[in-house]
Structure 1
Amino acid sequence: MKISRETTSKEVLSDKKHNEIINAANQVKAASIPIEETPVEFIHSGSILLNLAASGKGRNGGWARGRIINFVGDGSSGKTLLALEMAAYVFHKMLGNKSHNFPPVKKVRIIFDNVEQVLDFPVDKMYGKDFSDGVEWINSSTVQSWGRNVTREVMANKPGELLLYITDSLDALASQEGQERFEKAAKSDKEEDGTYGTEKAAYLSKSFFSNMCCKMAGKDVTLIIISQIRMKIGVSFGEKYGRTGGKSLDFYTHAVPWLAEVEKLKKTFRGEDRVYGIRVLVKLKRNKVAKPFREAEIIILFDYGVDDVGSSIAYLYGPKVKTIDWDGIEYGRNELINYIEENDLQDELAEKVEKWWNEIEDHLKPNRISKYGNE
């Protein structure tokens, strides 16, 4: 059953639910920042650092809204988790959003096309039961049926409706022709004729992406495509890794973050080492909406998600430093994380991260006289 979130004046709320909504609204209001009038708007990634790398903006930044984003990485590098973090922000924070480029959001729809049909995260625990009930979970079987599903949803999108469509993953989609050959070979008990996936590549490059960009124009629709990396055979120079979709994805996407695990985070308890999370390096190999080739290291904790506070502290003070001075008082790393969260100091921490990041960006600017402008 498909469920979407809509505003309505006829809802009857219990006192408990009413208080929960008021508290949530106050938290959003306290952390709000004036809307900037920019040609591109963004959806929070779940990490201030990642926002800065992807958009050049901190609390107002993130992944480009109304665009096509391609998350690329090897297995267990956090691709699906980042997509879920974005979806959770859209679900919990974007209803009622006002912007310069889109109508006020009266309805939020999140479609998660679980092509791989594997999703092992405790979604209810991490993002709430209302989130898992509110997301529309579907499974496309072929690249053509996926393309038709996306196209129908984009064409049906109306003003005031925000649509986030996540595909996990493009690699798991077979072509209709390939499926038919596979079934025919199984029935005849003969070897399947090889075509090396040419139908899939042709559909993506010649049909889907070129038409989809036209259909998405001006609509509050963001498309997230997850891809697995593949080693290129026989490559002796240049990029040794690629992904399904190749040049068509390079041409039509607005941001392509590549994810790689840097470190497994371990704790020792009762003499045993256990992995409780990973540190991930995100490289923006392509970015049309901000400076390209920016990087961010983020921490992902199992059963929790992106650790924005922990990632920010590691960025400012180093990932291995155990004692940190915060406003003249020394804290242990975990002690400082708890202190910041318990005292609602996330904005203050974000300001420190933004200041540090922007000082580096300012230092990189060419100290030259403008060729044509007055500045």
Structure 2
Amino acid sequence: KIGVMFGSPETTTGGNALKFYASVRLDIRRIGAVKEGEEVVGNETRVKVVKNKVAPPFRQCEFQILYGAGINRMGEVLDLGVQQGLIEKSGAWYAYQGDRIGQGRKNACDFLAANPEICVVVEGEVRRGLLPAHCQSDESAAESTEASAGDDAY
């Protein structure tokens, strides 16, 4: 759209049908670079749900996409743990249950990658804090079904 004073000047390509036909539309933006020293190793990304017919719309999240590795799961667990108060952050230091796990985000992510049992515990606590109760019961039922199906397969 040309000369738009209010709202977003962006248009969705593909004509009008795509706006109405799609069940879910996401706005994906690069908001920064992830660097190690001077070398760029990934992107900071923001995803906004523009339209959603199957779940609550207008939510957003930010995460890192690392080249050659994909979405930085350990960084997500770390950020959400800090956001929910499970992991304490003081200055550059991160601590879990009083034990320091790393100085700087990268070292804390490396600690979680090296200690998957701690990462699983933190991720479980984050999920319990963020997901509604009915989703958690569905998730645990699905996990128990998968576990029993795996036992019967052999």
Q: If the TM-score is normalised by the length of the shorter chain, which range does it land in?
A: 0.5 to 0.7
How many residues of Structure 1 are paired with residues of Structure 2 in the alignment? 124
Report 1:161-310 matches (<5 A): 232-268=1-37, 273-310=38-75
Residue type of the alignment partner of 1:344: P
Residue type of the alignment partner of 2:108: L
Deviations 1:107-157 (A, max 9, x none): xxxxxxxxxxxxxxxxxxxxxxxxxxxxxxxxxxxxxxxxxxxxxxxxxxx
Q: Which structure 1 segments of 5+ residues have no match?
A: 1-231, 360-375
Report 1:1-375 matches (<5 A): 232-268=1-37, 273-317=38-82, 322-332=92-102, 333-345=105-117, 346-358=119-131
Local SS of the residue matching 2:44 = strand
CA distance in 1, matches of 2:91, 2:51: 32
Corresponding residue number in structure 2 for 1:189:
none
Q: CA 1:337–1:242 in structure 2 vs 1: closer, same or farther (change >3 Å)?
A: same
Q: CA 1:274–1:335 in structure 2 vs 1: closer, same or farther (change >3 Å)?
A: closer
> How much has 1:321 moved relative to structure 2?
5.8
Q: Which structure 2 segments of 5+ residues have no match?
A: 84-88, 133-154
CA distance in 2, matches of 1:350, 1:245: 39
Residue type of the alignment partner of 1:339: F
Q: Please tell me whether the aligned partners of residues 24 and 53 of structure 2 are also in contact (alpha carbons under 8 angstroms).
A: yes
Q: Please tell me whether the aligned partners of residues 81 and 122 of structure 2 are also in contact (alpha carbons under 8 angstroms).
A: no
Residue type of the alignment partner of 2:73: D
> How much has 1:257 moved relative to structure 2?
1.1
Higher strand content, 1 or 2: 2
Corresponding residue number in structure 2 for 1:102:
none
> How much has 1:299 moved relative to structure 2?
0.5
> How much has 1:298 moved relative to structure 2?
1.0
Question: Stretches of 4+ moved more than 4 A in 1?
Answer: 318-321
Between structure 1 and structure 2, the one with the greater Rg is: 1
TM-score between both structures, scaled by the size of structure 1: 0.30
CA distance in 1, matches of 2:92, 2:55: 34
Q: CA 1:329–1:291 in structure 2 vs 1: closer, same or farther (change >3 Å)?
A: same
Q: CA 1:321–1:354 in structure 2 vs 1: closer, same or farther (change >3 Å)?
A: farther
